[in-house]
Structure 1
Amino acid sequence: MQSTLNGISRVIDAARSPLLSFRRSANFDASLVFNKTNLTENTFMGAWGIKTFENDGALDWLGDFRDAPSEAKFRQTFAPQPPKGFLSKLFGGGSSASPPELDGEDVLAAAEILATLRGHPAVDAMEDLADLPDIKVTDEIVALAIQAIDSVMTSSDLKDCWEDTDDFESWVETVKDIRARLSRA
């Protein structure tokens, strides 16, 4: 009982800390962050905002892309493959016909980068996108990106988290803008 209370106390303290950046974690429950009844009036999160790169997951994806830019990175983000071999047995994959769930933060970050590489950056694009590595963007990758965005908007953990906030409509408009810029020739 005491360890449970300590765990809850740590989550509440973390939610109140403006300096803490939440990382993706199997034990992290986003509803603790977005459910306003769990936060004090003056609480704010430094790691979440309606813009694409106002979360740690998207910034991590950008950093990984800068370290190893490739079309394959986009493909793995937009159309992830289930684990094979030992990992398949370890994580229970292989028997399911459905692909792994998309990571909404990663999908939107990758789509934003693709739109920028195609010459259609956001009006308020962050400076870090000004000097992206130059890679060839194929129409196939763009089509995968649009499908992935549609999937995130239809059914995803990220969408579910945003639906519980007052900023949901603003977030939807941000995502629609990414999709529109990505769709331009």
Structure 2
Amino acid sequence: MGAWDIGHFDNDTAADFGGRVDDAEGAKKADVLREALAAVAGTGSEGYAEGEEAVAAAALVAAQCPGGEPVTTAYGPKDPLPPLPEDLRPLAVRALDRLTAPNAEPLDLWAEAGEDQAWLAGIATLRAVLAGARGE
């Protein structure tokens, strides 16, 4: 696991994802986020790489929600995102729920590193912002 901290962009996979978001044309940035979230939210994978991309995407979506924290890390996208479609919010919640389920690889890896509770707290904060924006 190429991670240096528990932040949503503090790993190689998420940092590379931030670059992919920057490389996408303005109107396509939401599609990059949707793809990352859908890969985990559906019947797709809960693997480490997919999971870390989905967490990064969820952080970017949450940043545009009421109460969301801006993504200010140097490892996230450098360019501002256009307003994102609101339908990304429930998709992000579903992805986060899958990633925090028992036996999800990212959770298992964070547990092996002794950081599962801190990682889960960060995920819970994201989920609360996203769910609150959905009116749950």
The TM-score bracket by the shorter chain reads 0.7 to 0.9
Q: Does 1:79 align with 2:57?
A: no
Distance, in Å, in 2 between the alignment partners of 1:136 and 1:51 is 23
The 1:99–1:183 alpha-carbon spacing in structure 2 relative to 1, beyond 3 Å, is closer
Structure ranking higher in helix proportion = 2
- Deviation per CA, 1:4-30: give whole Å up to 9, x if none: xxxxxxxxxxxxxxxxx94xxxxxxxx
Code of the aligned partner of 2:54: V
Q: CA deviation at 1:117?
A: 2.8
Greater Rg over alpha carbons, structure: 1
TM-score normalised by structure 2 residue count: 0.76
- Deviation per CA, 1:29-82: give whole Å up to 9, x if none: xxxxxxxxxxxxxxxxxx33211111011111111001105221122111139x
Match of 1:54 in 2: 10
Distance, in Å, in 2 between the alignment partners of 1:108 and 1:130 is 14
Give the % identical residues. 25
- Deviation per CA, 1:98-138: give whole Å up to 9, x if none: 8431411001100111112335115x842566964332322
Write out aligned runs for 1:1-185 (5 A): 22=2, 47-68=3-24, 69=26, 70-80=29-39, 99-102=43-46, 103-118=50-65, 120-121=68-69, 125-126=72-73, 132-154=79-101, 155-185=103-133
Gaps of 5+ in 2: none
Gaps of 5+ in 1: 1-20, 23-46, 82-97
Distance, in Å, in 2 between the alignment partners of 1:184 and 1:125 is 22
What is the number of equivalent residue pairs in this alignment?
124
Distance, in Å, in 1 between the alignment partners of 2:64 and 2:54 is 15
Match of 1:85 in 2: none
Please state whether the residue corresponding to 1:80 is helix, strand or coil: helix
TM-score normalised by structure 1 residue count: 0.58
Code of the aligned partner of 1:142: R
Structure scoring higher RCO (CA < 8 A, sep ≥ 6) equals 2
Q: CA RMSD in A?
A: 2.7
